[in-house]
Structure 1
Amino acid sequence: MIDSHELKKRDLYLNKMIAFQDTEPVKVVTGIRRCGKSSLLKLMTLHLRENGIADDQILEMNFESYAFKNMNSDAFYEYVKQHIVPGKRMYLFFDEVQRVPGWEDAVNSFRVDFNCDIYVTGSNAYMLSSEYATYLSGRCVEIKMLPLSFSEFLTFHDFEIRETKSALGGIRKQVFDQNGEHYDLREVFDAYMRFGGMPGITDIGLDQEKALMLLEGIYSTVIMRDILERENRRGQKKITDPILLKKIALFLADNISSNISVSSIGNRLMNEGLLEDGKRKGIPSAHTVQNYVNALLEAYFFYDIKRFDIKGKEFLRTLGKYYIVDIGLRNYLLGFRDRDSGHAIENVVYFELLRRDYDVSIGKIDNAEVDFIAAKADDKIYVQVTESMASEVVRKRELTPLQKISDNYEKIILSLNPGMDSSYEGIKSINLIDWLISE
């Protein structure tokens, strides 16, 4: 049992969950392993208890526990049935439910047979793929969970931002820790770019050796539990080669925010002698690579993003990009390095846009590219990301694609060094760190 004192708030997700409390759909929390899904369920049970729900109305089952190790859907149904309190509304919490074969049948039956509100978590997107979701026939709502944002990182590590006067009379933001030590905001951001946002890092402190051990554990668990152990599925070859899987993960991590195709991954691996030419074995290597890439996407280790033609107003089938769910995991895979920090900050911006509930795509306009088009029902922003706007050459490169867009939606450039000008013909130049900590 997690002690409630240890639970750090994740209001972004908890508020979504509370908004759906006592509504019919099954609440499904998805995301990579160890990003905080179990703690979110605990936070929700705490919220219920604080609001008068009795302990016997709350049933929690974690299927990673040995207690439920070989449970099938029949045993699952019977166990829950025995814990139902007649005449009371029940709140059912099922952690890593995809480990129960046929879980959807049981969960659907609870919905029909009992007066209950159901919350489940899972670490694999396959659990919501069409084949499974038909059982719940649209009666579920997905809450997509990610590792810590930079704002959450500050809170989790007990950092507090205070504004202080600078020598020139302006205001500057400084970060204070619990001992009253103070740091530049940039220093703490650099720590975030090094350690990433896995909540477990909070427990061990910002210690590189321990962090790498923790991240290695997360990588191994994702690879073993969610990919190599996943069941053989219709039309999909089983993923059996952990070495090839790691090579593909390394390739994708090394090429975040680059336009890549599956065939280019296969070719590179073949050139390096890492992949047999599939034709000899009767398996096209691109097909094999695609299966492994899909497995990494389904385990929420990588996310893919499509290109959108701004003038033609259509999604393009050509090259997309991949981003890694946590920059700390990338550093675990590739080692710490500064040479492509531009790609790393772009990765951070992509996930921040997802956290803010935007649908995100890459923009193409003529031969130029806009890093992100972020759209909601009533809102759209065009975003460029670059390390610095100080040089004339970079300014021209970043501004040109945005200047070609003729609509009136907001256009911004995020950088760690925005330069002197805060706006270029209506295109805003914003400090990336300020943007990350703004609500």
Structure 2
Amino acid sequence: MLKQEAQLYQRWVYLNKLIAFQDTEPVKIITGIRRCGKSSLLKLMIKHLLEQGITHEQIIFVNFESMQFSNMSVRELYEYVKARLPQDKKAYLFFDEIQRIEQWQDAINSFRVDFACDIYVTGSNAYLLSGEYATYLAGRSVEIKMLPLSFAEFIEFQGYSIKEKKDITGVIRKKIYDNEGDLADAQELLALYMRFGGMPGLADINLNIDNALVLLDGVYSTVVVRDILERELRKEQRQITDSTLLRRLIMFLADNIGNSTSVTSISNMLVNQKLLENNTKKNKPAVQTLQTYISALLEAYVFYEIKRFDIKGKDYLRTLSKYYIVDIGLRNYLLGFRDVDTGHIIENIVYFELLRKGYDVAIGKIDNKEIDFIAVNAERKIYIQVTESMNDPATREREFAPLRKVKDNYEKIIIANEVLNTATQDGIRIVKLIDFLLAE
């Protein structure tokens, strides 16, 4: 018996991006960590095409996770697609996890050149967009970077709805309602999001620790094995073969999200714990080994690195980056579901929400102060501080101080989970975390 298709939940932010590039020449490349919803996005796009009158015979879908295609060569892929192309109609080609086919870019480039087709591919590793790919398809592709669920998506996946309502002061705010139309507890839902994260598979299970552990263990195991360890073997680069050391590094980075760190400091810690050998005589110091591991984690979209920017010097600094984990549920799975370090958890969530909203993000440095984020897009530049609470006077002053040092006229805000007074002060606006996460 064939597997029944699971329910498709809408991901409008990403689907609308695909639709915007429908029937254009660029190859649509969807990237992101495994299990974040890339396969479902392809199916949503296919559903959209069928609703627009495209026929089933015009659509060719190949999932390279299936045993049917697992050992296919690039030549066999080309012949497989060629034999199924519709006559006198445009074809729509969908390739899921295409990086599992060696020299895949040869086939994609040939499809683009030889046939009237619209091409969509997904991949779970950043090297998909490097090397020979850049040579073959430079300027002829568009990348759509997919992340796990935002808080707003998490709410909708759990069966709630978001509606705009005026409060007693006449200000329009977004409120959350359950499927019976009753007002939901937004803070309670946010607490669930901060605990379990935003992997789409959570929508299909009851939200408890046991179920979440099973789901998140599957995500972790798949990423580590298929996108890091096996990936290195396929490329004949055996630098990453110690899964225990890799897990120790992952746990260190997960435990230190939002902390300024360097590869050297991480290396020293692991060397002290005898998890790395500092063999400088062979010109292979622990720092180089560790950089290989970290690069693999970044390529697999498990962690994201953020650089520091000197606001006065107007240049990026080479030291002390920060790392954020792609899904806070994965962090809790690795470290245990402990209710500590809420400030850094909120910071992690805000960072990825800024990415979802289309900002380029850096850490700000001004004199001896640090600003959590500088967020820039084509239209806006925002200086942002993030904190758990703004109710303590000492905390308020600590968060205001770095922003006061910035003398330009760009927007400055403080995002806080708990805040009694949201009045603007010294041109600095205070925003509740929930309002920020639910904003368009």
TM-score normalised by the chain length of structure 2: 0.95
Aligned 8 A contact 2:174 2:438 in 1 = no
2:322 aligned partner? 321
| Separation of aligned partners in 2, 1:169 and 1:108 | 56
Task: For residue 403 of structure 1, report the CA deviation from its aligned partner.
Answer: 0.9
Q: Which runs of 5+ in 2 are unaligned?
A: none
The one-letter code matched in structure 2 to 1:320 is S
Contact 2:277 2:285 in 1 (8 A): no
| Contact preservation (8 Å) 2:174, 2:435 | no
**Paired residue secondary structure (2:24):** coil
Paired letter, 1:126: Y
Q: Helix, strand or coil for the counterpart of 2:231?
A: coil
Contact in 2 for aligned 1:2/1:42 (Cα 8 Å): no
The residue that corresponds to 1:97 in the other structure is 98
- Asked whether 1:226 is paired with 2:253, we answer no
Change (3 A) 1:211 1:254: same
Report the secondary structure of 2:108's partner residue: helix
Structure 1 residues 275 and 54: CA distance shift in structure 2, 3 A: same
| Cα 1:48–1:162 shift into 2, 3 Å | closer
Identical positions, percent: 61
Quote the Cα distance in structure 1 between the aligned partners of 2:380 and 2:165. 34
Equivalent positions of 1:31-430 (< 5 A) are 31-161=32-162, 175-178=176-179, 183-232=184-233, 237-279=238-280, 282-430=283-431
**Alignment partners' CA distance in 1, 2:192 and 2:183:** 14
Residue-by-residue CA offset, 1:283-312 (whole Å, 9 max, x unaligned): 210001000000000000000011111111
Aligned partners of 2:19, 2:184: CA distance in 1, in Å?
36
Q: Distance in 1 between matches of 2:280 and 2:62?
A: 47
Alignment CA distance shift 1:351-1:242 (3 Å): same
The one-letter amino acid of 2:34's match is R
SS state at 2:324 partner: strand
Per-residue CA deviations over 1:371-422 (Å, capped at 9, x if unaligned) read: 0011011211111100111112111111111111111111100001223242
Amino acid at match of 2:381: K
- The residue type equivalent to 1:65 in the other structure is S
Looking at structure 2, the residues matched to 51 and 91 of structure 1 have their Cα atoms a distance apart, in angstroms, of: 13
Q: Distance between the aligned counterparts of 2:92 and 2:170, measured in 1? A: 55
Once the 2 structures are TM-superposed, how far is the Cα of residue 205 of structure 1 from its aligned partner? Answer: 2.2
Task: Name whichever of 75-84 and 179-188 sits farther off.
Answer: 179-188
Deviation at 1:174, TM superposition (A): 6.0
What SS class does the counterpart of residue 155 from structure 1 fall into? helix
* Aligned-pair Cα RMSD in Å: 2.3
Question: For residues 15 and 31 of structure 1, what CA distance do their matches in structure 2 show?
Answer: 17
TM-superposed CA distance for 1:427, in Å, is 0.4
Name the CA distance, whole Å, in 1 between partners of 2:297 and 2:25. 31
Query: How far apart are 1:69 and its partner, in Å?
Result: 1.3
| CA apart distance, 1:338 | 2.2
1:178: Cα distance to partner? 3.1
Distance in 2 between residues matched to 1:273 and 1:154, nearest whole Å: 44
Which stretch has the larger CA shift, 378-387 or 228-237?
Answer: 228-237
Distance 1:173 1:87, change over 3 A: closer
Q: Displacement, 1:231?
A: 3.9
Aligned residue identity for 1:303:
Y
| Cα displacement (A) at 1:159 | 1.5
Q: What is the CA-CA distance between 1:282 and the residue it aligns to? A: 4.7
CA distances 1:247-276 after superposition (whole Å, capped 9, x unpaired): 010010000011010111111111122222
- Corresponding position of 2:436: 435
Map Cα deviations across residues 90-116 of structure 1 (whole Å, 9 max, x no partner).
000000000000100110000000000
Instruction: Verify the 8 A CA contact 1:174 1:184 in the aligned structure 2.
Output: no
The SS at the match of 1:229 is: helix
Q: Is the 8 A contact 1:37 1:121 kept in 2?
A: yes
Distance 2:425 2:377 in 1: 25
In 2 relative to 1, CA 18–170 (structure 1 residues): closer, same or farther, beyond 3 Å? closer
Over residues 114-137 of structure 1, what are the superposed CA-to-partner deviations in whole Å (9 max), with x where a residue is unaligned? 000000000000010144221212
Contact (CA 8 Å) 1:237, 1:291: kept in 2 or not? Answer: no
* Larger mean Cα displacement after TM superposition, 351-360 or 123-132: 123-132
- 3-state SS in 1 of match to 2:294: helix
When structure 1 is superposed on structure 2, of 389-398 and 36-45 the one drifting more is 389-398
Q: 1:207 to 1:376 in 2, by over 3 A?
A: same
Q: Give the gaps of 5 or more residues in structure 1.
A: none
C-alpha distance in 2 between matches for 1:4 and 1:13: 20
- Partner Cα separation in structure 1 for residue 172 and residue 24 of structure 2: 46
